[in-house]
Amino acid sequence: MPRTPDPIEDGLGSLPPPPPVFHVEQALLGALLLEPHRAANLTGISAEAFSTAGHAALLTAIRSLPAPDPAQHAKTTTWLNQVLAAAGEQTRGLTTAYLHHLIHCCPQPQHAPAYARIIEAEHARLHLRAAAQRLVHTALDTTLPHRVATTLAEATTLTTVVDDIANRFPPHPRSLPRTPATPAVVHDEEASGDEQLLLASATARPASVERMRWLTPGDFTHPLHAMLWRCLSTMARRGASIDPVTVRWEAQHHGLLTHGSEPAGLLGFLGEPAGCDPEYRGEQILRRSLLTTAQNTGRHIETLTHDPATTTYQLVVGARRALAGLNTVRTRWHLATTPPQVNTPTQARTSAPPRAGPPPTTAPPAVRSPR
């Protein structure tokens, strides 16, 4: 005798429950099936916003068919059968019983616009999460030929998604979103080595420090290196003499050298010979900082979308705050990588007629004094 499948033993009972918006979708579809004329007023929602293919197919079918006469619709199931047939052409598994179940799931058909707004908000949350995840994956992808440019393009796309959500969902008086925990800084040996090379080469070539205003202490991964760059920048701005000895003295005034520490041992790398170009090394540090900031920005926004207590407006506020930090690093990256423009006279200036004025006077000949 064949064995009857057991949903618990066979693992069929371990399916995750549907998301909360699934029940809102049922209420909306039930309202439209019960009173089809209400579909004409739902212009902001699309089939892509639904969580299942069956629900999306039902909305498409409802919109594709003309609304029936309310009196006839209350007496017959002709229009419901047409909806079921049209939706069945897009997906399988829909039955007449499920359509009647949807009708029973709707408490108030006149609340259909509110149901649609909830579904739109949840779809916006998922859309924002997907864009944030793409930003993180792009910033981490070391196989990309133009990793920074592609990452910045994804950041622009994410900003467009946030702006679109902000336009569709106006602000409302609510508390600001909760700030997710800041990810711990991971000390990278390669990054630390690059930072030490930059500090040593900048100490040997202090003129480069003033040209690297686009590099900030926040771009460094090691706190000591960040403070040393602050010391170098401060000394360069006030025109102080810069060498390993003076930098160590400046570091002591900034509290980097504690009692009992040996300056030569703690900051010995400042006096090591560094033949690299400081500005090139600074660009590498800024590049790493930009990619790390992009990763943290995407993860921050993704974390916001996973909090069900965060409203759509709070998502917009939190996402814009996170993107503001990334845009700051982006601006400094463009300053570092854009070659300075050479001031050359324009063709219009060289071909312009001379300014009108009095004719030049002829200077009298110089009188030679007698010897």
Q: Decide if 312 contacts 121 (C-beta within 8 A).
A: yes
- Predicted pLDDT at 317: 93
Residue 308 has pLDDT above 70, yes or no: yes
- Look up the pTM and report it: 0.81
Q: What is the pLDDT of residues 200-232, one digit of tens each?
A: 999 999 999 999 999 999 999 998 899 999 999
Residue 291, Cα to own-chain centre: how many angstroms? 11
| CA gap 230, 256 in Å, rounded | 11
- For residue 362, pLDDT beyond 70: no
Asked whether the predicted pLDDT for residue 172 surpasses 90, the reply is no
Average pLDDT over residues 164-193: 75
Does position 181 have pLDDT exceeding 80, yes or no? no
Contact 318, 306 (CB under 8 A): no
What pLDDT is attached to residue 268?
77
Residue 44 pLDDT: 84
Average pLDDT over residues 80-84: 96
Tell me, what amino acid is at 281?
Answer: R
How high is the pLDDT of residue 266? 61
pLDDT the model gives residue 186: 61
**Percent of the chain residues topping a pLDDT of 90:** 67
pLDDT surpassing 80 at residue 351: no
Is the pLDDT reported for residue 109 higher than 60? yes
Distance from C-alpha of 189 to C-alpha of 238, rounded to nearest angstrom: 32
- Give the integer Cα–Cα distance in Å for 287 and 310: 32
Q: What is the mean pLDDT of residues 181-198?
A: 78
Tell me if 38 sits within 8 A of 70, measured CB to CB: no
* φ and ψ of 140, to 5 deg: -90, -10
Instruction: State residue 119's pLDDT score.
Output: 97
Residue 367 has pLDDT above 50, yes or no: no
Q: What is the pLDDT of residue 219?
A: 96
For residue 262 the two structure tokens come to: 């040996």
pLDDT at 175: 65
The mean pLDDT value of the chain amounts to 85
226 within 8 A of 220, measured Cβ to Cβ: yes
Question: Any long-range contacts for 226-232 (C-beta under 8 Å, 24+ apart)?
Answer: 227/251, 227/254, 227/256, 228/199, 228/256, 228/267, 228/270, 229/198, 229/199, 229/202, 230/254, 231/256, 232/199, 232/202, 232/203, 232/206
Q: Can you tell me the distance from the alpha carbon of 160 to that of 330, in angstroms, rounded to the nearest whole number?
A: 16
pLDDT for 359: 46
pLDDT category of residue 368 using cuts at 50, 70 and 90:
very low
* Tens-place pLDDT, residues 322-349: 999 999 999 999 999 987 764 444 444 4
